[in-house]
Amino acid sequence: MSNDIRERWRELVRGSMCHADAPADTDYWCPELETIPRERIREIQSAKIALAYRYLWECSPFYRAKFERAGLSADSVRGVADLAKVPVTRREEWLEDQERNPPWGTFSPLRQEDWTDRGWMLFTTSGTTAAQPRVFRHTRFDRDLWSWLGARALYAMGVRNGDIAINCFGYGTSVAFWGLHYALNLMGVPVVSGGGANTERRAFFIHNYRPTVLLCTPSYALYLGRAMQDAGYSPQESSIRLIVAAGEPGSCIPSTKQRIEELWHARLHDDFGCTEVAMSPLGYTCGYQVKQTDHPVDVHLMEDAYVPEVLHPDTLVPVAEGESGVLVVSNLFSESQPILRYMMGDWISVTSEPCPCGRTHARAIGGLKGRNDELIKIRGLMFFPAVIEDSVRRLVEVGDEFKVEIRRVDDMDRIKLTVEPSSQIPKGSYAPPQQRIARALKGALGIDVEVELVPYGSLPRTTFKAKRLFDLREAPF
């Protein structure tokens, strides 16, 4: 029976594809999917949810046991209306399953013979000495879907035939490099692989080989641009016209977006997902959204391939449209990871209003706001690190790098911000703006902030995902 359900799942997913090899027109890769009525989106989701549930029931011991503990049977889930019956899965459950059943765990319906017969690549999350990384195997079927979904997103951003891309994500077991690389291959866009090169070499590649699309994290876009200036190149006058950023919320933080776009004289787009369940783009920006300057940009959600839910973090009950909650995602395309209701944990609010670009899929209002486990509580107030980032980067005298430390002193929480001056401010004409920065942050956070200004170049440079907030309190709230 497992072979039958596996092939039925693959056939359903393949059958839902359109324009697998090339875009339909100049505006949309798949207008039949991207501009359809929302009722039709729910029909597509329902058909996939029903078969994905049955696929997991028959082929994943982990999910079969999880469903049975919830009192579900093989036919309990038949569409979107039944999805709430499925218990939410958290990453800790997968890690425990993997530790009990090494090396792969039992949550994926992929069998060893599938992996050896048509396997594509192994991916992992980052691990530490205390905990092994979570590991995920994917097949060539998955690769083809990643490519197609990624191409749709890049096409919506404005990537076209005639572009050349430089991919500066790490060449390793992270999904970011590979999903973008294969999407560009499908589009016929040549790739300059910067994954294994250092920053100086990447700057040289841009200056000499003239790629038009840069792919990297928002933090690295700033770092690479400054490195080009230090090397005597001008990022503003370079060939880069479009930046596709992933891995951080910076693309949707207004002041960070403005800095990057002014530095490169290029449009900055957002592309987000996660290794566990949203390997190809779950969210992406369109050409209309990135041109908005009076509010944070919205990010389209690929609803024919995923079901995004916004839930209250404590009750896991859906919140009203437009309200904030944590993101739970179901994957509706993978042979290896067709997961129902995985807790991504990012804070998000969603609207189903059609975008002026013509796409009808729901949008994340202002993109991802930050992970639930990054939410900081200080003196009774809750905020995300992005709030500090937006406040700091609105000040033109301040450089790109900064560090925030939270300590408890005399039973009181204290925040210290360490910043550099901008490299563009001439030495000798710079007036330290500690008080102005402190006032700006107090206005944004409602809390006094100690500000230390250090010489330009003192803080570590970010070459991948940035960690700028350090909670040094002995006992978290």
Write the pLDDT tens digit of every residue in 37-52: 999 999 999 999 999 9
For residue 258, what are the contacts with CB-CB under 8 A and spacing of at least 6?
Answer: 293, 393
The reported pLDDT for the residue numbered 129 is: 38
Tokens 């570590």 found at: 460
Q: Residue 31: give the domain boundaries.
A: 1-371
Residue 449 belongs to what H/E stretch? strand 449-453
Below-50 pLDDT ranges, the chain: 127-130, 475-477
Distance CA 88, CA 92 (A): 12
- Strand duo 306-311 + 412-421: pairing: unpaired
476 assigned to some structural domain: no
Distance CA 78, CA 219 (A): 43
| Same domain for 183 and 242 | yes
CA 459 to centroid of chain Cα atoms: 26
| Same domain for 271 and 382 | no
477 assigned to some structural domain: no
| Same domain for 391 and 439 | yes
- Quote the tokens at residue 100: 């009990």
* CATH number for the domain harbouring residue 427: 3.30.300.30
| Same domain for 366 and 412 | no
253 assigned to some structural domain: yes
| Same domain for 392 and 344 | no
* CATH number for the domain harbouring residue 257: 3.40.50.12780
Peptide bond into 109 cis (omega under 30): no
149 assigned to some structural domain: yes
| Same domain for 422 and 299 | no
Residue type, 333: F
pLDDT tens, residue by residue, 86-141: 999 999 999 999 999 999 999 999 999 999 999 999 998 764 434 577 889 999 99
Distance CA 66, CA 51 (A): 17
Total domains, the chain: 2
459 assigned to some structural domain: yes
152 assigned to some structural domain: yes
Are the C-beta atoms of 264 and 214 separated by less than 8 Å? yes
Assign residue 41 a region: left if phi > 0, alpha if psi is -120 to 50, beta otherwise?
A: alpha
- Quote the tokens at residue 27: 């505006």
| Same domain for 199 and 146 | yes
**Where among 371, 405, 440 does a domain terminate?**
371
92 assigned to some structural domain: yes
| Same domain for 231 and 98 | yes
| Same domain for 429 and 466 | yes
CA 113 to centroid of chain Cα atoms: 31
| Same domain for 398 and 356 | no
57 assigned to some structural domain: yes
**Where among 337, 371, 405 does a domain terminate?**
371
- Strand duo 325-331 + 306-311: pairing: antiparallel
The reported pLDDT for the residue numbered 431 is: 52
**Where among 352, 371, 390 does a domain terminate?**
371
| Same domain for 395 and 317 | no
| Same domain for 391 and 359 | no
Residue type, 371: R
